[in-house]
Chains A and B, each alone.
Chain A
Amino acid sequence: MGYSDAGKRVSVLWEVIWMRAKVAQISCGTEYSGVQPVLKEMAERAGIELLYPEMTLEEIDAACEEVGFRARSPSLNMMIAKAVSAMKDPTIKGAILLTCFKCSEGAIVRDLVRRYMQEHRGEIPIITYSNVEKPKEAEIFARFDALSTIITKKSLLMRQRQEGTTVGIDSGSSMTKVVVMHENEIASSVWLPTTDPLESAEKALESALSDACMKRSEIDAIGVTGYGRDIIADAIRADLNIEEVSIVAKGAAVLADAHRGNATVIDIGGMSNKLLLMRDGIVNSFSLGGICGGSSGRFLEVVSHRLDVDVEGLGELALRSTQKFELQSYCMVFGIQSLVVALASGIRREDVAAAACRSVAEQVYENQMREMTIKPPVIFVGGVSLVKGVKKEFEEIIGSEIIVPHHSQFAGAVGIATIASGV
Protein backbone atom coordinates (compact mmCIF):
# COMPACT_ATOMS: atom_id res chain seq x y z
CA MET A 1 0.00 0.00 0.00
CA GLY A 2 1.50 3.34 -1.06
CA TYR A 3 1.41 6.60 0.87
CA SER A 4 -1.45 7.92 -1.23
CA ASP A 5 -3.57 4.81 -0.49
CA ALA A 6 -2.80 5.07 3.19
CA GLY A 7 -3.67 8.76 3.14
CA LYS A 8 -6.93 8.03 1.37
CA ARG A 9 -7.80 5.38 3.95
CA VAL A 10 -7.08 7.75 6.81
CA SER A 11 -9.18 10.43 5.18
CA VAL A 12 -12.07 8.00 4.59
CA LEU A 13 -11.79 6.79 8.18
CA TRP A 14 -11.71 10.37 9.43
CA GLU A 15 -14.76 11.13 7.34
CA VAL A 16 -16.61 8.16 8.83
CA ILE A 17 -15.69 9.22 12.36
CA TRP A 18 -16.53 12.83 11.62
CA MET A 19 -19.85 11.99 10.02
CA ARG A 20 -21.11 9.86 12.92
CA ALA A 21 -24.01 11.75 14.41
CA LYS A 22 -23.61 12.37 18.14
CA VAL A 23 -26.91 11.59 19.82
CA ALA A 24 -27.55 11.84 23.55
CA GLN A 25 -29.29 8.86 25.09
CA ILE A 26 -31.43 10.24 27.88
CA SER A 27 -33.11 7.46 29.81
CA CYS A 28 -33.87 6.26 33.32
CA GLY A 29 -32.10 2.91 33.22
CA THR A 30 -32.58 1.03 29.97
CA GLU A 31 -29.75 -1.24 31.09
CA TYR A 32 -32.20 -2.90 33.48
CA SER A 33 -34.80 -3.62 30.83
CA GLY A 34 -32.37 -5.50 28.60
CA VAL A 35 -32.74 -3.17 25.59
CA GLN A 36 -29.34 -1.47 25.76
CA PRO A 37 -27.48 -3.97 23.53
CA VAL A 38 -30.14 -3.57 20.80
CA LEU A 39 -30.00 0.23 21.09
CA LYS A 40 -26.22 0.18 20.77
CA GLU A 41 -26.23 -2.19 17.79
CA MET A 42 -28.94 -0.27 15.91
CA ALA A 43 -27.22 3.06 16.60
CA GLU A 44 -23.96 1.74 15.21
CA ARG A 45 -25.73 0.40 12.10
CA ALA A 46 -27.32 3.81 11.52
CA GLY A 47 -23.99 5.63 11.95
CA ILE A 48 -24.90 7.14 15.30
CA GLU A 49 -22.63 7.55 18.28
CA LEU A 50 -24.68 7.31 21.44
CA LEU A 51 -23.49 9.63 24.19
CA TYR A 52 -24.50 9.44 27.84
CA PRO A 53 -24.56 12.95 29.33
CA GLU A 54 -22.73 13.22 32.63
CA MET A 55 -23.62 15.14 35.75
CA THR A 56 -22.70 15.33 39.43
CA LEU A 57 -25.17 14.40 42.17
CA GLU A 58 -25.44 18.07 43.15
CA GLU A 59 -26.46 18.92 39.60
CA ILE A 60 -29.45 16.56 39.83
CA ASP A 61 -31.14 18.83 42.40
CA ALA A 62 -30.37 21.93 40.35
CA ALA A 63 -31.69 20.29 37.16
CA CYS A 64 -34.97 19.28 38.85
CA GLU A 65 -35.32 22.89 40.04
CA GLU A 66 -34.70 24.18 36.54
CA VAL A 67 -37.18 21.85 34.86
CA GLY A 68 -39.62 22.36 37.75
CA PHE A 69 -40.33 18.71 38.49
CA ARG A 70 -39.01 16.16 40.95
CA ALA A 71 -39.95 12.52 40.45
CA ARG A 72 -40.23 9.86 43.16
CA SER A 73 -37.83 7.66 41.19
CA PRO A 74 -34.21 8.81 41.60
CA SER A 75 -33.38 7.48 38.10
CA LEU A 76 -35.98 9.77 36.57
CA ASN A 77 -34.46 12.75 38.38
CA MET A 78 -31.17 11.64 36.91
CA MET A 79 -32.84 11.56 33.49
CA ILE A 80 -33.90 15.19 33.98
CA ALA A 81 -30.31 16.09 34.91
CA LYS A 82 -28.98 14.25 31.84
CA ALA A 83 -31.27 16.35 29.63
CA VAL A 84 -30.10 19.60 31.22
CA SER A 85 -26.48 18.48 30.85
CA ALA A 86 -27.02 17.50 27.17
CA MET A 87 -28.39 20.95 26.39
CA LYS A 88 -25.07 22.48 27.42
CA ASP A 89 -23.02 20.25 25.09
CA PRO A 90 -22.78 21.79 21.60
CA THR A 91 -21.41 18.56 20.07
CA ILE A 92 -24.73 16.79 20.70
CA LYS A 93 -26.82 16.98 17.54
CA GLY A 94 -29.81 14.87 18.48
CA ALA A 95 -31.42 13.05 21.39
CA ILE A 96 -33.36 9.89 22.09
CA LEU A 97 -35.57 9.86 25.17
CA LEU A 98 -36.43 6.46 26.58
CA THR A 99 -38.57 5.27 29.43
CA CYS A 100 -40.33 1.97 29.99
CA PHE A 101 -43.60 1.27 28.21
CA LYS A 102 -46.48 1.43 30.75
CA CYS A 103 -44.47 3.46 33.32
CA SER A 104 -46.69 6.43 34.10
CA GLU A 105 -44.09 8.44 36.02
CA GLY A 106 -41.60 7.75 33.21
CA ALA A 107 -44.07 8.97 30.58
CA ILE A 108 -44.60 12.22 32.52
CA VAL A 109 -40.86 12.88 32.85
CA ARG A 110 -40.17 11.94 29.22
CA ASP A 111 -42.76 14.43 28.02
CA LEU A 112 -41.49 17.21 30.35
CA VAL A 113 -37.91 16.60 29.27
CA ARG A 114 -38.88 16.65 25.57
CA ARG A 115 -40.67 19.98 26.01
CA TYR A 116 -37.76 21.41 28.01
CA MET A 117 -35.25 20.35 25.35
CA GLN A 118 -37.36 21.70 22.49
CA GLU A 119 -37.68 25.02 24.29
CA HIS A 120 -33.95 25.31 24.87
CA ARG A 121 -32.51 23.78 21.71
CA GLY A 122 -35.33 23.56 19.23
CA GLU A 123 -32.91 22.96 16.37
CA ILE A 124 -31.89 19.47 17.45
CA PRO A 125 -34.12 16.52 16.50
CA ILE A 126 -35.51 14.57 19.43
CA ILE A 127 -37.11 11.15 19.24
CA THR A 128 -38.91 9.30 21.99
CA TYR A 129 -39.32 5.56 22.49
CA SER A 130 -41.10 3.43 25.04
CA ASN A 131 -38.94 0.42 25.65
CA VAL A 132 -40.22 -3.08 26.21
CA GLU A 133 -38.23 -6.17 27.12
CA LYS A 134 -38.36 -7.49 23.55
CA PRO A 135 -37.69 -4.39 21.44
CA LYS A 136 -38.38 -4.50 17.72
CA GLU A 137 -35.02 -3.98 16.04
CA ALA A 138 -36.60 -2.63 12.84
CA GLU A 139 -38.55 0.01 14.79
CA ILE A 140 -35.47 1.24 16.64
CA PHE A 141 -33.34 1.18 13.49
CA ALA A 142 -35.95 3.20 11.53
CA ARG A 143 -35.82 5.91 14.19
CA PHE A 144 -32.03 6.01 14.40
CA ASP A 145 -31.67 5.92 10.62
CA ALA A 146 -33.99 8.92 10.26
CA LEU A 147 -32.19 10.78 13.04
CA SER A 148 -28.86 10.11 11.34
CA THR A 149 -30.12 11.43 7.98
CA ILE A 150 -31.52 14.60 9.53
CA ILE A 151 -28.22 15.31 11.31
CA THR A 152 -25.66 14.29 8.70
CA LYS A 153 -27.41 14.99 5.38
CA LYS A 154 -28.92 18.38 6.16
CA SER A 155 -27.21 20.08 3.21
CA LEU A 156 -28.67 17.51 0.82
CA LEU A 157 -32.13 17.89 2.35
CA MET A 158 -32.02 21.66 1.80
CA ARG A 159 -32.78 21.21 -1.93
CA GLN A 160 -36.17 22.77 -2.67
CA ARG A 161 -36.49 22.23 -6.39
CA GLN A 162 -36.06 19.18 -8.61
CA GLU A 163 -33.79 19.85 -11.59
CA GLY A 164 -33.09 17.87 -14.78
CA THR A 165 -34.80 14.50 -15.16
CA THR A 166 -34.86 12.17 -12.21
CA VAL A 167 -36.82 9.17 -10.99
CA GLY A 168 -38.03 8.59 -7.44
CA ILE A 169 -38.96 5.10 -6.24
CA ASP A 170 -40.79 4.65 -2.94
CA SER A 171 -41.03 0.97 -2.07
CA GLY A 172 -43.82 0.94 0.50
CA SER A 173 -45.17 -1.93 2.55
CA SER A 174 -48.42 -2.03 0.54
CA MET A 175 -47.74 -0.02 -2.62
CA THR A 176 -44.69 0.76 -4.74
CA LYS A 177 -44.75 4.32 -6.06
CA VAL A 178 -42.59 5.65 -8.90
CA VAL A 179 -42.46 9.19 -10.33
CA VAL A 180 -40.51 10.55 -13.25
CA MET A 181 -39.80 14.24 -12.65
CA HIS A 182 -38.56 16.84 -15.10
CA GLU A 183 -37.69 20.41 -14.00
CA ASN A 184 -39.81 20.23 -10.84
CA GLU A 185 -42.87 18.80 -12.62
CA ILE A 186 -44.19 15.24 -12.41
CA ALA A 187 -43.89 13.81 -15.93
CA SER A 188 -45.46 10.47 -14.99
CA SER A 189 -46.48 8.56 -11.88
CA VAL A 190 -47.28 4.91 -11.26
CA TRP A 191 -48.30 3.03 -8.13
CA LEU A 192 -48.60 -0.72 -7.95
CA PRO A 193 -49.25 -3.14 -5.10
CA THR A 194 -45.96 -4.31 -3.56
CA THR A 195 -45.53 -8.05 -3.98
CA ASP A 196 -41.85 -8.87 -4.43
CA PRO A 197 -40.28 -5.44 -3.70
CA LEU A 198 -37.73 -5.64 -6.54
CA GLU A 199 -40.14 -7.00 -9.14
CA SER A 200 -42.78 -4.42 -8.21
CA ALA A 201 -40.24 -1.58 -8.40
CA GLU A 202 -38.90 -2.71 -11.79
CA LYS A 203 -42.43 -3.05 -13.17
CA ALA A 204 -43.49 0.37 -11.87
CA LEU A 205 -40.27 1.97 -13.14
CA GLU A 206 -40.75 0.52 -16.62
CA SER A 207 -44.35 1.66 -16.69
CA ALA A 208 -43.50 5.19 -15.45
CA LEU A 209 -40.75 5.59 -18.07
CA SER A 210 -43.11 4.36 -20.79
CA ASP A 211 -45.85 6.82 -19.64
CA ALA A 212 -43.32 9.67 -19.75
CA CYS A 213 -42.06 8.47 -23.19
CA MET A 214 -38.52 8.27 -21.85
CA LYS A 215 -35.67 5.78 -21.84
CA ARG A 216 -33.55 4.90 -18.84
CA SER A 217 -30.55 6.54 -20.56
CA GLU A 218 -32.35 9.91 -20.46
CA ILE A 219 -32.60 9.84 -16.67
CA ASP A 220 -29.99 11.88 -14.79
CA ALA A 221 -30.40 10.11 -11.46
CA ILE A 222 -32.57 7.57 -9.66
CA GLY A 223 -33.34 7.78 -5.95
CA VAL A 224 -34.89 5.04 -3.81
CA THR A 225 -36.64 5.20 -0.44
CA GLY A 226 -39.07 3.04 1.55
CA TYR A 227 -38.93 -0.41 3.14
CA GLY A 228 -37.46 -2.24 0.14
CA ARG A 229 -34.94 0.47 -0.71
CA ASP A 230 -31.73 -1.47 -0.02
CA ILE A 231 -32.47 -4.42 -2.28
CA ILE A 232 -33.83 -2.16 -5.05
CA ALA A 233 -30.98 0.35 -4.85
CA ASP A 234 -28.41 -2.44 -5.26
CA ALA A 235 -30.25 -4.12 -8.13
CA ILE A 236 -30.94 -1.04 -10.23
CA ARG A 237 -27.76 0.78 -9.21
CA ALA A 238 -29.60 3.75 -7.81
CA ASP A 239 -27.73 7.00 -7.30
CA LEU A 240 -29.30 7.67 -3.92
CA ASN A 241 -30.85 5.54 -1.19
CA ILE A 242 -32.29 7.34 1.86
CA GLU A 243 -34.74 6.33 4.60
CA GLU A 244 -38.31 7.55 4.26
CA VAL A 245 -38.84 9.93 7.21
CA SER A 246 -36.78 12.84 5.90
CA ILE A 247 -37.74 12.04 2.30
CA VAL A 248 -41.52 12.04 2.86
CA ALA A 249 -41.18 15.41 4.61
CA LYS A 250 -39.25 16.77 1.61
CA GLY A 251 -41.84 15.38 -0.80
CA ALA A 252 -44.67 16.97 1.21
CA ALA A 253 -42.80 20.30 1.18
CA VAL A 254 -42.38 20.09 -2.62
CA LEU A 255 -45.97 19.02 -3.31
CA ALA A 256 -47.49 21.64 -0.99
CA ASP A 257 -44.85 24.30 -1.72
CA ALA A 258 -44.12 24.59 2.01
CA HIS A 259 -40.40 25.34 1.96
CA ARG A 260 -40.44 28.23 4.43
CA GLY A 261 -41.27 28.29 8.13
CA ASN A 262 -42.91 25.53 10.15
CA ALA A 263 -45.22 22.78 8.89
CA THR A 264 -46.58 19.45 10.11
CA VAL A 265 -46.84 16.37 7.92
CA ILE A 266 -49.14 13.43 8.60
CA ASP A 267 -48.17 10.40 6.50
CA ILE A 268 -50.38 7.32 6.72
CA GLY A 269 -49.46 4.45 4.47
CA GLY A 270 -50.58 0.86 4.09
CA MET A 271 -48.93 -0.47 7.23
CA SER A 272 -47.38 2.49 9.02
CA ASN A 273 -47.90 6.09 9.97
CA LYS A 274 -45.64 9.02 10.69
CA LEU A 275 -46.01 12.46 12.16
CA LEU A 276 -43.28 14.85 11.04
CA LEU A 277 -42.56 18.40 12.15
CA MET A 278 -40.67 20.45 9.56
CA ARG A 279 -38.82 23.71 9.58
CA ASP A 280 -37.92 25.24 6.22
CA GLY A 281 -38.77 22.02 4.41
CA ILE A 282 -36.51 19.81 6.57
CA VAL A 283 -37.90 17.47 9.21
CA ASN A 284 -36.66 18.35 12.70
CA SER A 285 -38.80 16.11 14.87
CA PHE A 286 -40.88 13.04 14.21
CA SER A 287 -42.96 10.32 15.76
CA LEU A 288 -43.40 6.93 14.13
CA GLY A 289 -46.37 4.66 14.68
CA GLY A 290 -45.95 0.96 15.09
CA ILE A 291 -47.86 -0.01 18.21
CA CYS A 292 -51.05 -0.97 16.41
CA GLY A 293 -52.05 -1.71 12.80
CA GLY A 294 -55.46 -0.18 13.51
CA SER A 295 -54.06 3.26 12.66
CA SER A 296 -52.84 2.26 9.20
CA GLY A 297 -54.30 1.99 5.74
CA ARG A 298 -54.59 -1.77 6.17
CA PHE A 299 -57.39 -1.25 8.70
CA LEU A 300 -59.32 0.85 6.17
CA GLU A 301 -58.72 -1.79 3.50
CA VAL A 302 -60.31 -4.44 5.72
CA VAL A 303 -63.23 -2.09 6.50
CA SER A 304 -63.76 -1.23 2.84
CA HIS A 305 -63.75 -4.92 1.94
CA ARG A 306 -66.42 -5.53 4.59
CA LEU A 307 -68.50 -2.61 3.25
CA ASP A 308 -67.94 -3.74 -0.35
CA VAL A 309 -66.39 -0.49 -1.60
CA ASP A 310 -62.82 0.43 -2.57
CA VAL A 311 -60.72 2.43 -0.09
CA GLU A 312 -61.34 5.78 -1.80
CA GLY A 313 -65.05 4.91 -1.98
CA LEU A 314 -64.96 4.34 1.77
CA GLY A 315 -63.97 7.99 2.25
CA GLU A 316 -66.78 9.19 -0.01
CA LEU A 317 -69.22 6.96 1.88
CA ALA A 318 -68.02 8.40 5.20
CA LEU A 319 -68.72 11.96 4.01
CA ARG A 320 -72.42 11.02 3.69
CA SER A 321 -72.66 10.01 7.35
CA THR A 322 -75.45 11.69 9.34
CA GLN A 323 -75.37 9.85 12.68
CA LYS A 324 -72.22 9.65 14.82
CA PHE A 325 -71.26 6.11 15.75
CA GLU A 326 -68.10 4.99 17.58
CA LEU A 327 -66.24 1.71 17.06
CA GLN A 328 -65.67 0.00 20.42
CA SER A 329 -61.99 -0.64 19.78
CA TYR A 330 -59.08 0.71 17.72
CA CYS A 331 -57.86 -2.85 17.20
CA MET A 332 -57.81 -4.35 13.70
CA VAL A 333 -59.65 -7.43 15.00
CA PHE A 334 -61.96 -6.04 17.70
CA GLY A 335 -62.66 -2.83 15.77
CA ILE A 336 -63.88 -4.89 12.81
CA GLN A 337 -65.87 -7.07 15.19
CA SER A 338 -67.56 -3.91 16.53
CA LEU A 339 -68.23 -2.82 12.94
CA VAL A 340 -69.87 -6.15 12.07
CA VAL A 341 -72.06 -5.99 15.17
CA ALA A 342 -73.07 -2.40 14.28
CA LEU A 343 -74.06 -3.36 10.74
CA ALA A 344 -76.05 -6.29 12.06
CA SER A 345 -77.88 -4.00 14.48
CA GLY A 346 -78.99 -1.72 11.66
CA ILE A 347 -76.40 1.11 11.80
CA ARG A 348 -76.07 2.62 8.30
CA ARG A 349 -73.01 1.81 6.16
CA GLU A 350 -72.21 5.55 5.87
CA ASP A 351 -72.07 5.94 9.66
CA VAL A 352 -69.92 2.84 10.03
CA ALA A 353 -67.54 4.11 7.31
CA ALA A 354 -67.24 7.45 9.13
CA ALA A 355 -66.58 5.62 12.41
CA ALA A 356 -63.72 3.67 10.78
CA CYS A 357 -62.17 6.90 9.41
CA ARG A 358 -62.55 8.52 12.84
CA SER A 359 -60.95 5.51 14.50
CA VAL A 360 -57.78 5.91 12.40
CA ALA A 361 -57.63 9.69 12.86
CA GLU A 362 -58.25 9.49 16.63
CA GLN A 363 -55.62 6.84 17.13
CA VAL A 364 -52.96 8.81 15.26
CA TYR A 365 -53.97 11.90 17.23
CA GLU A 366 -53.89 10.16 20.63
CA ASN A 367 -50.67 8.21 20.08
CA GLN A 368 -48.62 10.67 18.09
CA MET A 369 -50.07 14.14 17.60
CA ARG A 370 -50.75 14.84 21.26
CA GLU A 371 -47.13 14.38 22.21
CA MET A 372 -45.93 16.87 19.60
CA THR A 373 -46.75 20.52 19.13
CA ILE A 374 -48.65 20.70 15.84
CA LYS A 375 -47.58 23.68 13.77
CA PRO A 376 -49.66 24.77 10.77
CA PRO A 377 -49.90 24.24 7.86
CA VAL A 378 -50.77 20.57 8.30
CA ILE A 379 -50.05 18.53 5.16
CA PHE A 380 -51.57 15.07 4.81
CA VAL A 381 -49.78 12.59 2.51
CA GLY A 382 -49.56 8.83 1.92
CA GLY A 383 -52.17 6.51 0.46
CA VAL A 384 -54.69 7.16 3.25
CA SER A 385 -54.68 10.89 2.45
CA LEU A 386 -56.85 9.97 -0.56
CA VAL A 387 -59.59 8.77 1.82
CA LYS A 388 -61.59 11.98 2.22
CA GLY A 389 -63.35 10.77 5.35
CA VAL A 390 -60.04 10.53 7.25
CA LYS A 391 -59.06 14.08 6.23
CA LYS A 392 -62.43 15.37 7.47
CA GLU A 393 -62.03 13.56 10.81
CA PHE A 394 -58.50 14.99 11.28
CA GLU A 395 -59.80 18.48 10.56
CA GLU A 396 -62.51 18.06 13.20
CA ILE A 397 -60.03 16.74 15.77
CA ILE A 398 -57.35 19.41 15.35
CA GLY A 399 -59.79 22.20 14.48
CA SER A 400 -58.00 23.51 11.42
CA GLU A 401 -57.82 22.88 7.70
CA ILE A 402 -55.56 20.15 6.37
CA ILE A 403 -53.83 20.35 3.00
CA VAL A 404 -53.91 17.24 0.82
CA PRO A 405 -51.70 18.20 -2.14
CA HIS A 406 -52.18 16.73 -5.61
CA HIS A 407 -50.19 13.46 -5.92
CA SER A 408 -50.15 13.21 -2.10
CA GLN A 409 -49.67 9.44 -2.26
CA PHE A 410 -46.37 10.02 -4.11
CA ALA A 411 -44.75 12.21 -1.43
CA GLY A 412 -41.91 9.73 -0.80
CA ALA A 413 -41.19 9.24 -4.52
CA VAL A 414 -41.31 13.01 -5.18
CA GLY A 415 -39.05 13.67 -2.19
CA ILE A 416 -36.35 11.24 -3.28
CA ALA A 417 -36.58 12.35 -6.95
CA THR A 418 -36.02 15.95 -5.77
CA ILE A 419 -33.08 15.11 -3.53
CA ALA A 420 -31.57 12.81 -6.19
CA SER A 421 -31.34 15.74 -8.59
CA GLY A 422 -28.73 17.26 -6.28
CA VAL A 423 -26.44 14.22 -6.23
Chain B
Amino acid sequence: MKVLVYPPNSLILADLVERFGHEPVVLMREIGEHVRDPEIDAPPLNVTEADIKRSLKYVSVEEPAGLKGRIGLLAPLLEEAEASIIMTDAPPTYGCMGCAVADELFKYLIRNKKIPTLEVRYEGGDRMEEVVMRIKEFLERLHAYERR
Protein backbone atom coordinates (compact mmCIF):
# COMPACT_ATOMS: atom_id res chain seq x y z
CA MET B 1 0.00 0.00 0.00
CA LYS B 2 1.04 3.59 -0.44
CA VAL B 3 1.75 4.84 3.06
CA LEU B 4 2.09 8.56 3.68
CA VAL B 5 4.50 9.32 6.50
CA TYR B 6 4.30 12.39 8.67
CA PRO B 7 6.57 14.35 9.16
CA PRO B 8 6.59 14.02 5.39
CA ASN B 9 10.38 14.11 5.12
CA SER B 10 11.12 11.53 7.82
CA LEU B 11 13.76 9.14 6.50
CA ILE B 12 13.30 6.79 9.46
CA LEU B 13 9.55 6.40 8.92
CA ALA B 14 10.05 6.03 5.15
CA ASP B 15 12.61 3.29 5.76
CA LEU B 16 10.29 1.41 8.13
CA VAL B 17 7.45 1.53 5.59
CA GLU B 18 9.71 0.12 2.91
CA ARG B 19 11.16 -2.59 5.18
CA PHE B 20 7.67 -3.87 5.92
CA GLY B 21 6.71 -4.17 2.29
CA HIS B 22 4.87 -0.96 1.50
CA GLU B 23 5.58 2.07 -0.65
CA PRO B 24 6.42 5.20 1.32
CA VAL B 25 4.81 8.43 0.14
CA VAL B 26 7.27 11.17 1.06
CA LEU B 27 7.91 14.86 0.41
CA MET B 28 11.44 14.28 -0.90
CA ARG B 29 10.03 12.63 -4.01
CA GLU B 30 7.68 15.55 -4.75
CA ILE B 31 10.46 18.11 -4.18
CA GLY B 32 12.88 15.99 -6.22
CA GLU B 33 10.45 15.98 -9.16
CA HIS B 34 10.11 19.76 -8.91
CA VAL B 35 13.83 20.41 -8.64
CA ARG B 36 14.69 18.09 -11.54
CA ASP B 37 11.99 19.52 -13.81
CA PRO B 38 13.91 21.40 -16.53
CA GLU B 39 10.76 23.34 -17.43
CA ILE B 40 10.67 25.16 -14.08
CA ASP B 41 13.16 27.85 -13.11
CA ALA B 42 12.20 28.93 -9.60
CA PRO B 43 14.99 27.70 -7.30
CA PRO B 44 15.61 26.43 -4.68
CA LEU B 45 12.44 24.29 -4.38
CA ASN B 46 10.84 25.22 -7.69
CA VAL B 47 7.56 26.05 -5.98
CA THR B 48 5.45 27.64 -8.68
CA GLU B 49 2.15 29.44 -8.95
CA ALA B 50 0.60 26.12 -10.02
CA ASP B 51 1.52 24.57 -6.62
CA ILE B 52 0.05 27.53 -4.80
CA LYS B 53 -3.16 27.34 -6.84
CA ARG B 54 -3.37 23.58 -6.22
CA SER B 55 -3.44 24.27 -2.48
CA LEU B 56 -6.63 26.33 -2.87
CA LYS B 57 -8.56 23.05 -2.91
CA TYR B 58 -7.60 22.72 0.76
CA VAL B 59 -6.89 26.22 2.10
CA SER B 60 -8.57 29.59 1.94
CA VAL B 61 -7.18 32.18 -0.47
CA GLU B 62 -6.65 34.44 2.57
CA GLU B 63 -4.01 32.14 4.08
CA PRO B 64 -0.31 33.17 4.05
CA ALA B 65 1.71 32.38 0.91
CA GLY B 66 4.10 29.99 2.69
CA LEU B 67 1.22 27.90 4.01
CA LYS B 68 -0.29 27.66 0.53
CA GLY B 69 3.09 26.68 -0.95
CA ARG B 70 3.61 23.95 1.66
CA ILE B 71 0.12 22.50 1.27
CA GLY B 72 0.47 22.77 -2.52
CA LEU B 73 3.58 20.58 -2.38
CA LEU B 74 1.94 18.10 -0.01
CA ALA B 75 -1.41 17.89 -1.82
CA PRO B 76 -0.30 15.23 -4.35
CA LEU B 77 0.99 13.06 -1.48
CA LEU B 78 -2.34 13.29 0.28
CA GLU B 79 -4.24 12.42 -2.87
CA GLU B 80 -2.04 9.39 -3.48
CA ALA B 81 -1.99 8.01 0.09
CA GLU B 82 -3.85 4.79 0.94
CA ALA B 83 -2.70 4.72 4.57
CA SER B 84 -0.67 6.96 6.84
CA ILE B 85 1.57 7.13 9.89
CA ILE B 86 1.55 10.39 11.81
CA MET B 87 4.26 10.94 14.37
CA THR B 88 3.47 13.82 16.69
CA ASP B 89 5.88 15.90 18.79
CA ALA B 90 8.86 14.79 16.74
CA PRO B 91 12.01 16.93 17.05
CA PRO B 92 13.11 18.88 13.93
CA THR B 93 15.94 16.38 13.36
CA TYR B 94 13.38 13.63 12.85
CA GLY B 95 11.68 15.41 9.98
CA CYS B 96 10.21 18.83 10.06
CA MET B 97 7.14 20.60 8.76
CA GLY B 98 8.42 24.08 9.56
CA CYS B 99 5.19 26.02 9.79
CA ALA B 100 2.94 25.19 12.76
CA VAL B 101 -0.28 26.11 10.96
CA ALA B 102 0.57 24.00 7.90
CA ASP B 103 1.46 21.20 10.32
CA GLU B 104 -1.93 21.34 12.07
CA LEU B 105 -3.85 21.64 8.82
CA PHE B 106 -2.08 18.80 7.04
CA LYS B 107 -2.60 16.42 9.97
CA TYR B 108 -6.29 17.32 9.89
CA LEU B 109 -6.44 16.66 6.13
CA ILE B 110 -4.87 13.21 6.61
CA ARG B 111 -7.34 12.31 9.39
CA ASN B 112 -10.23 13.62 7.32
CA LYS B 113 -9.30 11.37 4.39
CA LYS B 114 -10.49 8.40 6.52
CA ILE B 115 -7.69 6.06 5.45
CA PRO B 116 -6.06 3.62 7.90
CA THR B 117 -3.93 5.87 10.06
CA LEU B 118 -1.60 5.27 12.98
CA GLU B 119 -0.87 8.20 15.26
CA VAL B 120 2.13 7.76 17.54
CA ARG B 121 3.88 10.17 19.82
CA TYR B 122 7.64 10.55 19.44
CA GLU B 123 9.46 8.99 22.39
CA GLY B 124 13.18 9.34 22.93
CA GLY B 125 15.56 6.75 24.43
CA ASP B 126 14.46 3.18 25.25
CA ARG B 127 10.77 3.88 24.69
CA MET B 128 11.48 4.37 20.98
CA GLU B 129 11.51 0.56 20.67
CA GLU B 130 7.84 0.47 21.68
CA VAL B 131 7.05 3.10 19.06
CA VAL B 132 8.83 1.07 16.38
CA MET B 133 6.91 -2.04 17.46
CA ARG B 134 3.59 -0.24 17.13
CA ILE B 135 4.56 0.96 13.65
CA LYS B 136 5.61 -2.56 12.69
CA GLU B 137 2.29 -4.04 13.87
CA PHE B 138 0.36 -1.35 11.99
CA LEU B 139 2.26 -1.98 8.77
CA GLU B 140 1.71 -5.74 9.08
CA ARG B 141 -2.00 -5.22 9.66
CA LEU B 142 -2.08 -3.16 6.47
CA HIS B 143 -1.19 -6.30 4.49
CA ALA B 144 -4.26 -8.07 5.92
CA TYR B 145 -6.36 -4.96 5.20
CA GLU B 146 -5.07 -4.97 1.63
CA ARG B 147 -5.98 -8.65 1.14
CA ARG B 148 -9.56 -7.94 2.25
Contacts and interface: CB of A to CB of B under 8 A. Distances in A.
Interface in A17-75: 28-37, 40, 57, 60, 71-75
Contacts of B41: 37
A111 to B, nearest CB: 16
Contacts of A74: 92, 96-98, 100
Nearest to A71: B100
A29 B63 contact: no
Given A36-B44, A57-B93, A101 B99 contact: no
A131 interface: yes
A315 interface: no
B66 A28 contact: yes
A304 to B, nearest CB: 34
Interface residues of A, number: 30
A132 B61 CA distance: 11
Interface size for chain B: under 10, 10 to 19, 20 to 34, or 35 or more residues? Answer: 20 to 34
A101 B64 contact: yes
B98 A100 contact: no
A70 B146 CA distance: 43
Contacts of A31: 44-45, 47
B24 to A, nearest CB: 22
Contact of A73 (B44, B47, B65, B100): B100
A34 B98 contact: no
B44 A103 contact: no
Contacts of B99: 28-29, 32, 73, 75, 103
B42 interface: yes
Contact of B69 (A37, A78, A133): A133
A30 B52 CA distance: 13
B48 interface: yes
Interface string A118-150: 000000000000011110000000000000000
A197 interface: no
A131 B65 CA distance: 7
Contacts of A102: 62-64
A105 interface: yes
Contacts of B68: 33, 133
A30 B62 CA distance: 17
B93 A32 contact: no
Given A37-B42, A75-B99, A32 B62 contact: no
Enumerate the 9 nearest inter-chain pairs by beta-carbon distance, A residue then B residue, closest first: A100-B64, A33-B65, A32-B69, A75-B98, A72-B100, A73-B100, A133-B65, A103-B64, A100-B66
Given A37-B41, A101-B65, A131-B65, 17 more contacts: A29-B66, A31-B45, A31-B47, A32-B73, A33-B47, A33-B65, A34-B47, A73-B100, A73-B101, A73-B103, A75-B96, A75-B99, A78-B98, A102-B63, A103-B99, A105-B100, A134-B49
24 contacts: A28-B99, A31-B44, A31-B45, A31-B47, A32-B47, A32-B98, A33-B52, A34-B65, A36-B43, A71-B100, A73-B99, A73-B100, A73-B101, A73-B103, A74-B98, A75-B96, A99-B66, A100-B66, A102-B62, A103-B64, A105-B101, A106-B64, A133-B49, A133-B65
